[in-house]
Chains A and B, each alone.
Chain A
Amino acid sequence: MQRSHTLVVLVEDQPGVLNRVVSLMRRRHFNIDSITVGHSEQPGLSRMTLIVTGEDNEVEQAGKQLYKLLEVVKVTDIPAEDAITRELVIVKVAAKGPQRAEVIQIAEIYSARILDATPNTLMIQATGSEDHIDSFLAMMKVFGIREMARSGKIAMSRGSMPAKQGRIDRIGDGSYAVAD
């Protein structure tokens, strides 16, 4: 069954590492829906969040192939029920005259923040799940979106266990991952 997977990939922060990851996904015919890269809590390690759609075994293969890249320290496929994902969007919305108050009111409903204002527009930042952002944008469209920048997803799993350094995790049945 094709479904969306959230892969968190911890990589050594080296020149060209993003190219290596993306090139691997392309040449092995895995499709990336979204990718974000940034720092992790550990100095020297970057955290990538890849959203990929595929059969479970295909995504497992993608994870194993990622492990073969020297800079890849850890790959975690966060199960949908455990994943908390967030996106950020910044929009410049037409907001003139009486519409202005309405835009601000709707922004408040979505816990969005006003970042900048001009006589004709408001710049608003919203964060949340994909659905939350989609819904917010649908409302803003009514007023006219002049410009939009939307980040990819970042994700973290619930509970106290960090998705940090270690050996193969959630790859196959795990039985052949680590010696007894």
Chain B
Amino acid sequence: MVVADPTMDEPRTQATAEAPQAAQEVLSGARITCRSIDAEGVKTVFGYPGGAVIPLYDAIPAASFKHVLVRFEQWAALAAVGYARATGDVGVCIATSGPGATNLVTALADAFLDSVPIVAITGQVNQSLIGRDGFQEVDITGITLPVTKHNYLVRRPEDIAPTIKEAFYLARSGRPGPVLVDIPKDVFLASAPFTYPTKTGRKSYQPNLVPNMRQVRLAANAINSAKKPVIMAGHGIILSRAEDDFRRFAERSGIPVIYTLLGLGAMDEHHPQSLGMMGMHGHRHVNRALEECDLLVNIGARFDDRATGKVAGFAPNAKIVHVDIDPAEIGKNIRTDVPVVGDAGEALKLLVNEVDQRDHASWMAWIQSERNVALERALDDIPETPEPYAIIKAIADVTDREAIVTTDVGQHQMWSAQYLGIKHGMRWITSGGLGTMGFGLPSAIGAKMGRPDLEVWAVIGDGGFQMSSSEMATAVQERLDINIAVINNGHLGMVRQWQDLFQNRNYSEVAISSPDFVKLAEAYGATGIRVTKSDEIVPAIERARSIKGPVLVEFVIDPEANVYPIVPPGASNSEMMHHPQWVPAEEDL
């Protein structure tokens, strides 16, 4: 993220030019917390009250931000994740001490692995009880140490404002991530003079934004001399809001672009240079290009194992250029020939001037010839039972690929990643690193609160939906226009698929029953639609879009449907498996 935080280097004159300070306002810690969140420009926070934060909730009605009451704290934090990813701003969630705080942990880990800027405010027991196993006391700063970018325990009311200021700065700057601020109840109740600081930052925290020009030139030389280069686009491009710089760089260099799961949308997938997703469920031609390429330019991705497959077999013939804002990512998983440490946007702005205009036509033609034509033809057939790919493609077509789509985790997520044809990075919200089931609905709520102007679809499996279905109540209470596509195969589909392919069909604990989803939606006060035939898919999507408030569309699919291709766990990307009926022609293999 480009973070020349304006507050960091604000000219001194501005601070001194302010009117001579009248008597400073003296406020309670609770009010200071609310005023600080307001000062950060936060429009919506997601939370759940409890004992230690009763003083904070006492101050919330007077705050400018809106508070959305969720039904479970984990979904508050994931709503904050959805909000952050849809808006690019910092998402905020609030929970009480003890169980409220521990319920945030999964979502903090999700934000940590996917570099999402959120700030979590937790209540803590009175300081006199800390360390004495007080009621609802847990050491949340200790517990969240490995899953936050940083965390704080605030001990004095006068420390609240500077701490929140620093927390927001840390969350959004450099490599973004979650920051937790733990505030004891007595600190909420005590008073202190309030002014929101204009500056923050620490000497020891200086993200590398502008890359070393020598490294940029080395990268450009490698790019200019490559014959079969590939660009691997990662989440860093989207976090840096550098889609335009990225497209200019890709178009000038003429290099084909492949995407990690979270990099999808870094450039329109319908762009002629876009090839689609790589890795475990990547397209055949994409993984073939990785095998063949002589240069891989990774921009803002961290070489996750689901993207690389077996490291020894990853891009075996390629020189590796790696652009990342986090120096610790360089060489962590994959040997790197040319490291470029810096913000993706800053690096692309420099790189574009150094690379030659090229088109790589014959290399691109070779890659296109490696497409799995059998599969693509099969996707045009519409069997009577709704085919998962047909559902995903219909959502993309009907919404003109302009809607925000959130997903849960599993088969439907991979079908979506393969066939939505994602146009905008900030409208593709999925749990990548942690693979958090239950993500789809709360992140859609957060996204809709952040971008009420955009249509929002949540694509969710029947398993994941049942993890967070309580948030239907939140969506109804907030009268949110979100559409929920539940892809129901009666199974925990991805695990079922692994048991099918790799465990000799020993189906263990994967058949899962569901409530009547239509009745469930109606019980919550939402609308429910069931689709059991292919010709009902498009009309149901159209109808859902026309109805106010949350709409749940249940698509009943074949329980045997699998995601293809699939790279077996621990194998190289070149060892991908195809559907028995969609095996590419012999001569292609």
Contact = CB atoms under 8 A, between A and B. Distances in A.
A176 B150 contact: no
Given A27-B146, A175-B339, A176-B340, A167 B331 contact: no
B24 interface: no
B210 interface: yes
Interface string B194-236: 0000000011111010111111000000000000000000000
Contacts of B204: 12, 70-73
A49 B341 CA distance: 27
B145 A23 contact: yes
Contacts of B367: none
B206 A57 contact: no
A20 B331 contact: no
Given A61-B328, A165-B203, A171-B327, A179 B213 contact: yes
Interface in A142-180: 165, 167-168, 171-172, 175-180
Contacts of A172: 327, 330-331, 339
A64 interface: yes
Given A71-B204, A167-B206, A19 B331 contact: no
B126 interface: no
A40 interface: no
A176 B146 contact: no
A68 B326 contact: yes
Nearest to A63: B328
B212 A175 contact: yes
Contacts of A72: 204
A60 B203 CA distance: 22
A110 interface: no
A175 B215 contact: yes
Nearest to A61: B332
B215 A176 contact: yes
A30 interface: no
B69 interface: no
B272 interface: no
Interface in B161-216: 170, 202-206, 208, 210-215
B349 to A, nearest CB: 14
A172 B212 CA distance: 14
A179 B339 CA distance: 13
B145 to A, nearest CB: 5
B48 to A, nearest CB: 27
A16 interface: yes
B170 A70 contact: yes
B214 A180 contact: yes
B328 A16 contact: no
A179 B210 contact: yes
Contacts of B326: 68
A2 interface: no
A68 B112 CA distance: 13
A65 interface: yes
A149 B394 CA distance: 72
Counting contact residues on chain B (CB < 8 A from A), the size range is: 20 to 34
A180 B328 contact: no
A67 B327 contact: yes
Interface in A35-79: 57, 60-61, 64-65, 67-68, 70-73
Contacts of B214: 175, 180
A174 to B, nearest CB: 10
Contacts of B215: 175-176
B202 to A, nearest CB: 6
A57 B170 contact: no
B11 interface: no
B296 to A, nearest CB: 18
Contacts of B331: 57, 60-61, 172
B146 A70 contact: no
Contacts of B170: 70
A63 to B, nearest CB: 9
B580 interface: no
A64 B328 contact: yes
A19 B146 contact: no
B328 A68 contact: yes
Most buried by B among A19, A27, A167, A176: A176
A175 B210 CA distance: 13
B449 to A, nearest CB: 30
B515 interface: no
A70 B208 CA distance: 14
B131 interface: no
Contact of A64 (B145, B211, B327, B340): B327
Interface string A4-24: 000000001000100110011
Nearest to B203: A73
B6 interface: no
Given A70-B170, A70-B204, A70-B205, A176 B327 contact: yes
Given A12-B204, A23-B146, A27-B146, A176 B141 contact: no
B20 interface: no
Nearest to B205: A70
Contacts of B208: 176
A120 B493 CA distance: 75
A67 B330 contact: no
B313 to A, nearest CB: 20
A172 B214 CA distance: 15
Nearest to A15: B153
Interface string B325-369: 011101110000001110000000000000000000000000000
A178 B203 contact: no
A64 B331 CA distance: 11
Given A73-B204, A177-B212, 7 more contacts: A61-B332, A64-B330, A67-B328, A70-B150, A172-B330, A177-B327, A180-B212
Nearest 3 interchain pairs by C-beta: A64-B328, A176-B341, A73-B204
Interface of A: 12, 16, 19-20, 23-24, 27, 57, 60-61, 64-65, 67-68, 70-73, 165, 167-168, 171-172, 175-180
26 contacts: A12-B202, A12-B204, A16-B141, A23-B146, A24-B146, A60-B331, A61-B328, A64-B330, A65-B328, A67-B328, A68-B328, A70-B170, A70-B202, A70-B205, A73-B204, A172-B327, A172-B331, A175-B215, A176-B211, A176-B212, A176-B340, A178-B212, A179-B212, A179-B213, A180-B213, A180-B214
